Structure 1
Amino acid sequence: MITDQQKKLLDLFGRANAGAFDRQGFPYFVRDTYDAFYPGYGDSWPGFHGAVAMTFEQASPRGLSFAREDGTTLTYKQGVTQHFTAAVTTALTAARNRERMLKEFLEYRRSSVALGQKGTREYLFAPTKDAARAHRLARLLARQGIQVKQAEEAVQVGSQSLPKGTYIVPLAQPAGRLVRNLLDPDVKMDEPFLKEQDRRRKARLNDQIYDVTAWSLPLMFDVDLVASDRVSSVRTRDVRADEEMPVPVVAVPSGAIGFIMPWSAGAAAMSVEALRQGIRITTLDETFTHAGRKYPLGTAFIRFAGNAEGTAASVQRLAQRHGAELVPVTESWTEEGTSLGSGRGGRLKSPRVLLAWDAPASSLSAGWARYVLEQRYGQRVSVVRASTLQNFDMKDYDVLVLPSGSYSFSDDGLRRVKDWIRNGGTLITMAESSRWAARDRVGLLSTDTLWRDGSPVKDTPDREGSGGTGSGGGSGTGGGGVGGGGAKPEKPDLTKPFDLDKAIQPEREAPENLAGAILRVVLYPYHWLTAGLDGDIQTAIEGTRVFAPLKLDAGTNVGAYAPADRLVAAGLVWKEAQPLLAQRAYLMHEPLGRGHVIAFAEDPNYRAYAEATQLLFINAVLLGAGH
């Protein structure tokens, strides 16, 4: 999707900077493991709009001087001089080639329009699964400078009929290449590059993949994308980047007793604000049929009785703000399933949430979680340093979120956490903190992480410490790298040919390291954590974590990776790694006393744009505290 013209200009700028550095004897390097495959960088996103985008970075001395391992010294003065040289050379190169750059920028934009007039002409997605998520995706695209339209009548795509309100993204637009990059299910890597990574993998060498290999927005939002080879002729309106979701105001009939609110991302955000205002909300843990309409598990009910006068108007204003659907009802009678007054559900409360912060919690994971809670859903959060958590009095909190990281608690600290859970607390772990919770010594999660051969990882003295990684992904000491031990090797049979390849294979080895792929997850549809989601979603996965599923007497595997034949939704997952991942645990719920341990195998808040798994996360926070 980067054109030959852009590559030539990048080479022009690179050689100009290299020449300036060579003339002054400055060292530099190019390529290495750095790339611009992921479209979210400052040197990739502008490129898909037609710019000549690049990154050059100057090493910092982190002070006045820095002694390097090769015996040289990098000073602050050198850093400033070299960065200034690169910046000025880049500006001069742009000035000398300004006419060529502007001409080729225009050609890029025009060619994007022309490309969109062949093959697939439009992408469409309907707001049928979750109107708030679909609208959020449309707004996100509009903020990228992409034209997005919304149909004001039903749209016919072949034999498929999409409803009024469907979003339409034309490919014949100046940002058409960016549209393909963000919405295509999978962006393929070059075959020669993949072959080299496979060779390095088999030799146990580090790969040259800088970042993730998949990022499809429809997959991460769990929005069904429809490709059309024809241009729709229906009436449309343009979607603005700053607009709120248009929600019709519902008429509340005389004698109405309350609102039914199907659960969704909008309903979750609305509930957070409503609960803070003291509005009483219950959720139902079973399906039911009311007035001929079937409602899924997790649907909320807001009864006017027991709430303050004027609740109906307040709830409608909140629903407008957050994009939640409200259905006014005049009777509680249901034709099928559970009743609106059933105790088989949860009485929601405004949760008091505690978030671990600072080492050993991953700064990325903690930041994603805090952003999703505070900015995405408006949930207030208190933060506590992870290093002091085991001595922190948590009695005034309902939910504890442990971002990815390998924690270190004393026996007394663990006992206090378990007692807090037994008394009604909800512990939420993710990625490396779930690995930590599953350790034998910790005993918060009745499962094991797995070695590459599928055998369980068990605690050994060298795994008793905090260990872990400092990032949201990666392997960590709990299952990364090569383990020692194993059975005593048998005496070799010298009469048979020696098999070198077999002999050098490790006895205990972590699962294949995954570089940011997207896997399908099958949800257990009868658990309250899945409210607002259908049977399948997608999740980002990276690192080496694989969890055995919980036994039936220990808890519920709320989400498991799909079978091998449909496991990979996008990105690079080596064939040899897929059988181990297939049908392993992704989301686990283990009751403990009156409380819950809710564990994600990966970070549900990955880069704070994974809307589908973020809904699972806010469900854990809101619904966990209410059950």
Structure 2
Amino acid sequence: MSRVPMRLGLFAFFLFLVQPAWSQAPKYESVVGYPLGERIASSYDIRRYMETLERETDRVKLVHQGESYERRPLVAAIITSPANHERLDEIQAGAQRLGDPRLGEAEIDDQPAVLWFGGSIHGFELSGSDGLTRLMEELATSEDEEVLEWLENTVVIIDPTLNPDGRDAFAMFNHRRIGREANPSQKDWSNDFDGWDALGFRTSHYFFDINRDWFAHTHPETRERMSLIQSWRPQVVIDAHEMGHDTEFYFDPPTGPRNPHFPDFAWDWFEDFGAAYADAFDEAGAEYTKRDIFNYFYPAYTTSWGSYQGAVGMLYEQGSTRGLALELSDGSVRHFRQAVEQQYITARAAVRLASEERARLLEDYLAGHQSALDEGRSGVRRYILTPDADPQILAETVAMLKRNGIEVSRLSESVRLRGLRDREGNSVGTRALPANSYVIEAEQPRNRLIRVLLEPDAPVPEDFLAEARERVDRGENPRFYDITAWSLPLLFDLQAFSSTSGANLPTEPVTEKPRVGGELPDADYAWLLDGRQTAAIPLAHRLRNAGYRVAVSPRAFEAGGERFSRGTVIIRRGGQDEGLEQQLADLVAEYDLMAHGVDSGRTSGGDLPALGGAETFHLAPGKIALLAEQPMHPYSFGWAWHTLDQAYRLDSTVLRVESVAGTRLESFSTIVIADTFSAAALAERLGEDGQERLKRWVRDGGNLVVIGNAVDLVREQLELIGLEDAWATGDDEPPAHRIAVPGAFFETEIDERHWLSAGFDRAPRVMVNSNRIYRAPEGPPSPAQNAVIRYAGNLDAPVAGHVWEESLDKLPGGVFAWEQRVGSGRVVAFPEDLNFRGYWRGVDRLFLNAVVLGPSA
């Protein structure tokens, strides 16, 4: 052998050894054993592929963000060129300067565009996750020159399974029901499931639609993702969904209405991306639609929230296949692999456009943030949240704002400020604002998100209302798509102001979640937990179940030089078992409560003569149960379960509806029946034995709490309460046109002497999001029947949001919270769902009063 060939052979061998790792990157099928689209990929399979890419390429880096409730990892992949990976910190710092011009001049020449893709936040909307995994596979393995150019010009963050718990639940359902070949019949058991299962697969562990949780972060699936998104400030945020099966692929631009605070940057770039998507679909010969159904008026879902973060937030909606194949109404069959391919085509087009238009995209993004700062220097200059609120909920609000990238500061001393409006938009002139109030300046990059969350109202455009009214009159969906009012001060019952004054204020930045208390003071006689603290009620329940005596005052009073609100929890030291102080200290720390110690049972002022007076009542030990499964509405059940189990850490037993007839209910002090698809269907599912058992349990002392349509169960089927349907007409009259209120807030009147309203120093503003309006029965007043909270009798408009005239005529004087004694027990009825999405926190206390105080009041 000559020496030259030997040298060439060694050189070739050397080149083989030093080839870039990505050229050897494996395809998805070689790792998991099946091609994308042939089987519903579990979150584990997708994650296994991501981990393989990280090990075997230099294009992929994984970020472990946290875990879901069911302990599934929340993992995202950062995909870019090896050269960009070498300078990720530099690129990330550049993205921060683009998202905040105050940080210094932003370099655009060598700054990649950042795109964030999220897949299948609704668990059974499958193809988004697989389509994004297909994109990830291409970006990580392809040696095509165009793809390599994309990798140089972009940083692509792919979070393929936004809801791993829901996805895996549906994947298992389908895997266990699939035959040798996928059966496309809609009646095949792999494609057919009831409403409870359908929404169960769609949602997260607590049956929440976490695509409505993006500003509130009540769940780890959104909360744990905030750090990555805030640290990268993506210019593009894309959410891959599915919709009804008899529809084609939807992509933006969206339809109206447009929120008045919606960023121009996103709206303008919808056209560019929409054109790119259309070109890609035209080339593929696939059908699509745009400017149809979906709007960006409400700020809580992924894509609108992404736009309020300053990005181009966009939505993909693929016609569903349910499982692997589904027959459409025209007799054709859509296969899962087709849906996966179309998600991939769209996402790929987004990366291509962002790469080709990188400089213009970044320039417009930077200009959008500069205009946000400029707009913050005119009109409303700042928003103020005062301490006159539940301190724990106020602290959680501040922490939530900060997770959203919003800067918050705190007044170090009291100030007088002019140009004030209250939380409802009413001018209140000049007044003193107390120290420790929280200040949110409008002149900051998240200005538009601040305004959309803290302004009292976002008027719905008149042209959209005219179209919506025509649809209502035809008996169609008005297409509001979501609620029409969501101001945080109203949702969280916070006292808030806004000001046009730009005066300098003595403030300090808030860097961490505020702490309220958490320490137990000394007390010779008793510890008091002020009634404004909602979390005092679950603490009282847990302490009583641990064997300690606990009392609640339904009256305000003064003790030890402090004023205490209605609903204050009293834990007397005397006569208690050993260990009280330590147990109480642990619970006070867990709930971050402010506790007060007093050395005497004497009171001064208020309506309570003494801490041990007859006005106070002692809690009895209690157990809580909730009804679940068809025909209960999974959202409402999940909201109630989450409020008890997660928000306030109260143990509960979940009972299947069909098991009620055979269950000894006597062991439960409270049963919660959340909203149901149908009160009549619920009665049928309970059966005669179940209905009789429930009625007997209430009459024997049970505390029944009903929500939404479950009010009709106790009105009509069980005949336990006397509320009257405000829409009812006479026998000779045509039935009323029941029109739902699309999530608007209204004034109320409150019975301040009733135990159910303990903790409320003023009548709350409440949300109506249904057509359920009831009136108290006619007749003389009775202590056994109490309309504890009513809609104000002089209503002529909502506080915020939209209402149709027919509903506004029925609402005045209607019942929001009702208590009726039945034998030795009682029913507490809430026509509206006050656990709404886990973030209508302002009425948490009302629900907890009903559940915890009801058996002892």
Would you call these one fold, judging by a TM-score over 0.5? Answer: yes
Q: Does 1:326 pair with 2:595?
A: yes
Q: Does 1:515 pair with 2:755?
A: no
CA–CA distance in structure 2, aligned partners of residues 602 and 118 of structure 1: 38
Could you list the per-position Cα deviations for residues 370-403 of structure 1 after superposition, in whole angstroms to 9, with x for gaps in the alignment?
1111111111111122233233221211111111
1:449 to 710, 716, 725: 725
Residue 179 (structure 1) shift: 0.5
Residue 614 (structure 1) shift: 1.7
Q: Does 1:380 pair with 2:607?
A: no
Give the aligned partner of residue 534 of structure 2: 265
Residue 143 (structure 1) shift: 1.6
Give the aligned partner of residue 281 of structure 1: 550
Partner amino acid, structure 2, of 1:511? R
Give the aligned partner of residue 397 of structure 2: 137
CA–CA distance in structure 2, aligned partners of residues 236 and 340 of structure 1: 39
- Pairing of 1:430-445 with structure 2 (within 5 A): 430-439=707-716, 441-445=717-721
5+ residue gaps, structure 1, are 457-485, 488-505
CA–CA distance in structure 2, aligned partners of residues 561 and 187 of structure 1: 22
CA–CA distance in structure 2, aligned partners of residues 272 and 100 of structure 1: 59
CA–CA distance in structure 2, aligned partners of residues 9 and 49 of structure 1: 15
Could you list the per-position Cα deviations for residues 332-357 of structure 1 after superposition, in whole angstroms to 9, with x for gaps in the alignment?
12345332112333322453111111
CA–CA distance in structure 1, aligned partners of residues 593 and 667 of structure 2: 30
Number of corresponding residues: 574
- Pairing of 1:358-397 with structure 2 (within 5 A): 358-397=629-668
Q: Which has the higher helix share?
A: 2
CA–CA distance in structure 1, aligned partners of residues 503 and 848 of structure 2: 37
Partner amino acid, structure 2, of 1:426? N
- Pairing of 1:583-602 with structure 2 (within 5 A): 583-602=813-832
SS at match of 1:195: helix
Partner amino acid, structure 2, of 1:332? G
Could you list the per-position Cα deviations for residues 581-615 of structure 1 after superposition, in whole angstroms to 9, with x for gaps in the alignment?
11100100011222221100100100110111221
8 Å Cα contact 2:517-2:595 kept in structure 1:
no
Residue 37 (structure 1) shift: 1.2
Higher mean C-alpha deviation, range 574-583 or range 365-374: 574-583
Partner amino acid, structure 2, of 1:418? K
CA–CA distance in structure 2, aligned partners of residues 402 and 250 of structure 1: 36
1:76 to 319, 336, 346: 336
Give the aligned partner of residue 543 of structure 1: 770
Q: Report the RMSD for the aligned CA atoms in angstroms.
A: 2.2
- Pairing of 1:29-68 with structure 2 (within 5 A): 29-68=289-328
CA–CA distance in structure 2, aligned partners of residues 234 and 321 of structure 1: 34
8 Å Cα contact 1:283-1:346 kept in structure 2:
yes
Residue 525 (structure 1) shift: 0.8
- TM (norm. structure 1) is 0.87
8 Å Cα contact 1:450-1:511 kept in structure 2:
no
Partner amino acid, structure 2, of 1:87? A
- Using the aligned pairs only, state the percent identity: 28
- Pairing of 1:203-242 with structure 2 (within 5 A): 203-231=474-502, 233-240=504-511
- Pairing of 1:406-421 with structure 2 (within 5 A): 406=679, 407-408=682-683, 409-421=686-698
Partner amino acid, structure 1, of 2:268? K
8 Å Cα contact 1:122-1:171 kept in structure 2:
yes
Q: Does 1:626 pair with 2:853?
A: no
Give the aligned partner of residue 474 of structure 1: none
CA–CA distance in structure 2, aligned partners of residues 421 and 583 of structure 1: 27
CA 1:271/1:25 → structure 2, altered by over 3 Å: closer, same or farther?
A: same
Q: Does 1:245 pair with 2:515?
A: yes
CA 1:348/1:103 → structure 2, altered by over 3 Å: closer, same or farther?
A: farther
CA 1:205/1:58 → structure 2, altered by over 3 Å: closer, same or farther?
A: closer
1:569 to 795, 799, 811: 799
CA 1:341/1:135 → structure 2, altered by over 3 Å: closer, same or farther?
A: same
8 Å Cα contact 2:722-2:776 kept in structure 1:
no
CA–CA distance in structure 2, aligned partners of residues 237 and 322 of structure 1: 25
Give the aligned partner of residue 277 of structure 2: 17
Partner amino acid, structure 1, of 2:554? D
Give the aligned partner of residue 176 of structure 1: 447
Residue 76 (structure 1) shift: 1.8
Could you list the per-position Cα deviations for residues 196-228 of structure 1 after superposition, in whole angstroms to 9, with x for gaps in the alignment?
223333444431221111111100111121112
